Structure 1
Amino acid sequence: MEVETCTDVMDPARAAAFQVALGGPASIVAGAPLPPFFHQLYFWSPQPPEGLGRDGHPRVGGGLIPDMGLPRRMWAGGRLRWHNPLIAGQIAERRSTLESATRKEGRTGPLAFVTLRHEIRQGDTLCLTEWQDLVYREDPDPQAPRPVPPRARTDEASRREQGFDSTRLFRYSALTFNGHRIHYDLDYARDVEGYGGLVVHGPLLAQHLMLMAEDEIGPLSEFSFRATAPLMHHERATFCRNGADLWVRGPDGRQCMQARAET
């Protein structure tokens, strides 16, 4: 099984900058535990321009992810299991493997499903295991009917609202070294991939849900999430929780993400 290994010093300044970008105070210093999902800020894999696909992501087929012949990439969901806290300012190693890659026929055409598994260690200590689910699709058919997203629950015990403008999306893309053009290139997002605006990063929605869960029910041991409909940069989202269930509701009542937290 092919393994890709990447090391990084978990720079506390980058984590503190992300805290500010999320609208909070910068409190992370060297030696402090990182909040859940902040490892997304690290383990960059920069590629030269010729190593990128049309969407700004690293071109598939040259690393762990095979070329499935489908151009549109989406982070469909994931699962995380924390074993020990990740500590800011310490070297960490991420070992990544391709767990599965399959191609199927869906109602809207061919789909490819890819699952990556990441294990992150500091020293000899396993801190985090993460499963990342990606979906690849064909370009949209302008004549095809739009898929109907699921309706979100309305029985939340707690809720938080958040807007996402283009500056917020740009800063998250910069901090995570995410070159996907659907998050900052409006013409590309609209004219090539068929979205109604800039797409709010799925991991950014999941990040807000994780921080909400940790604030309200305590330190997380596991967290799983699944994206069910895109949220655009001009829309406000409602982050909802009822017990261990969490979800993101769009302004029209559609469900954009569902998740479950375990403490």
Structure 2
Amino acid sequence: MFARMLSYNSTLLDPEWVNEQQSHWNGIQQDVKKVTKISFIVPCLRLRWRALQEIETGIPIKILGLTCHKCDKPAEKLICNSCKSVYYCGKACSVADWPTHKSVCKLSKRLLTHPEDTTAFPMGTFYIPARSYVDFVPESGFAVEQEAVKFSGSTNNSEAHKNEYGGTRFAVRTLKPPGYSHMGGKFQGETVFLWDRRRTLCCRTGPGEQPVAKELKLGYDIPFHAKGYAEYRSLLMQKGYRNQLIYLYARRVGDCLGLE
């Protein structure tokens, strides 16, 4: 039964993703590679994660982002193209809300230009751009890896993720590996990965991301919240959480996530 389940699950995988994964298999005979099927034993589709959450909590999933940021009426078609975090029921509400929304809309740009701004970036919060970066997605769950590559225009995506949580807090899993060596040891550093349970976003940040992105010539700058990262790292070291999976609360702020 287990073999049949794996065989069936393998047919649900995206063929392009499978080919991309198998292209990294070195030292494996071609005839073996051809008959080997990549499969999984956990839910792989985003909608299944939503269904699982609803079954466990008994609370219907509500996509909070699909309400007008100005008047709270249903809104789905008009979204802020800069931060992808707020929706509006019409142009009138979008224009009326801009004086307030503009202060947080492109928060990642302020991270690039004014990282010491204590008003925008108060102590006790770690701000991470709500985007996927560079050339690696962690093995944090099948949906994240496949969908980041297939549907986000590859992991090198400068666009912000759409917001499904509105302005409410939601739980994210964070992982800080001990370090990494990139491009044959040319770049050394640490990276923080985080993702939500619904698999609607997968983000990463770290002090080594900017030089790696420049070397890869991605064509855009990567903001980094150094003070927030220092607080985050210090907390992990104090609690002894190094190299462990940690759950924190996050809140969408413009095109960034604020970890609390």
**Scaled by the length of structure 2, what TM-score is found?**
0.25
**Scaled by the length of structure 1, what TM-score is found?**
0.25
CA radius of gyration, larger in = 2
- Higher relative contact order, chain-length normalized (CA < 8 Å, sep 6+): 2
